[in-house]
Amino acid sequence: MPELPEVETVKRTLELKLTGLTIDSVDIAMPKIIREPSPQEFGAQIKGRKITGLGRRGKYLLLYLSSDKVLIIHLRMTGRLIYAAPGEPLPRHTHVIFSLSNGNQLRFADMRQFGRIQLAPKQALNQVKGLKDLGPEPLEKDFTRNLLRRELKRKRVRLKTLLLDQTFIAGLGNIYADEALHRARLHPMRIANSLSPREIANLYHSIIEVLREGIQNRGTSFRDYVDGDGRKGNYQKLLRVYNREGLPCPHCGTTIARMKVSGRSSYFCPACQRKQ
DNA sequence: CGATTCCCCTGATAGC
DNA sequence: TGCTATCAGGGGAATC
């Protein structure tokens, strides 16, 4: 599942290749992937625009285009964005193909068809649904310990639920939320406003740590994720709790458990992460 | 308004 | 062996 570190890795693998190229044409095999504008309009507007740079906000990948347009891409669960030569075999579930001025292609494939692509004017970025309500970027300066403390105090929801809430913090998904909670030794069911200052500090540093490690290891390829070159990440080898039910906790050896928290699987160590 | 539930979708896996 | 049921989950919409 592409979360912040995976989207950041895709961004880094693609920006060297895409920056400076022009999009000659777009082939849309599955119209519903294009959220806005209409597929015809989308194709017309994007044609001939130059890719001036790449960006990321939360789990959204941003392709900045000439004439102040931005291509907004969300991979959701199984989306893939891959740079390839036209001669390379077209994988199943390839829904959108951007033909580039150097003869190569940028391909969007998505088995479960949850991913979305949208085109918006640059100045309207902060009005785009999903983007406009995003919380702070956890690896940027605006995410401070004080901010986390202030926001936690206001909330009576479970920690796991809160970490997955993109309006609270942008970019965490199920994998890195579980890993951050384990590292901070906090139970996923703990209520947000019950944390001590020490626990808040632990959570703060843990969130930043797991995301940085994820990026350093080129993301987690638990199932479908690959980067812009189609290569898998390495962080799945270093996960301590996620998808490790029944296996020993790397810290204490206790068997890792799994429970549902607001509809999502949560993996945790019952010894390291006590409920209290 | 904030919190919760449902739904989209296909492939892997469990169960019979 | 082969079929069906269940699960996985990000985020938007609907509902409480």
pLDDT per residue as tens digits for the range A58-78: 999 999 999 999 999 999 989
Residue A251, CB, strand B, below 7 Å: no
pLDDT category at A246 given cuts 50, 70, 90 is confident
pLDDT category at A231 given cuts 50, 70, 90 is confident
Does the annotation count A264 as an active-site position? yes
Distance of C1' in B9 from CA in A113, Å: 6
Residue A266, CB, strand C, below 7 Å: no
Region A4-127: CATH code = 3.20.190.10
CATH architecture for segment(s) A145-268: Orthogonal Bundle (1.10)
Does the annotation count A183 as an active-site position? no
Q: Is pLDDT of A116 > 90?
A: yes
Long-range contacts of A83-92 (CB under 8 A, 24+ apart): A83/A13, A83/A14, A83/A17, A83/A18, A83/A107, A83/A228, A83/A229, A84/A230
Q: What is the pLDDT of residues A135-163, one digit of tens each?
A: 999 999 989 999 999 989 888 888 999 99
pLDDT category at A11 given cuts 50, 70, 90 is very high
Q: Where are the domains of chain A?
A: 4-127, 145-268
* Greatest Cα pair distance in chain A: 60
Q: Which residues pair with A82 in a beta bridge?
A: A107
Q: Token pair of A256, please? A: 């890792």
Q: What is the pLDDT of residues A169-225, one digit of tens each?
A: 999 999 999 999 999 999 999 999 899 999 999 999 999 999 999 999 998 887 778
Output phi, psi for A23, to 5 deg. -85, 115
Q: Is pLDDT of A240 > 80?
A: yes
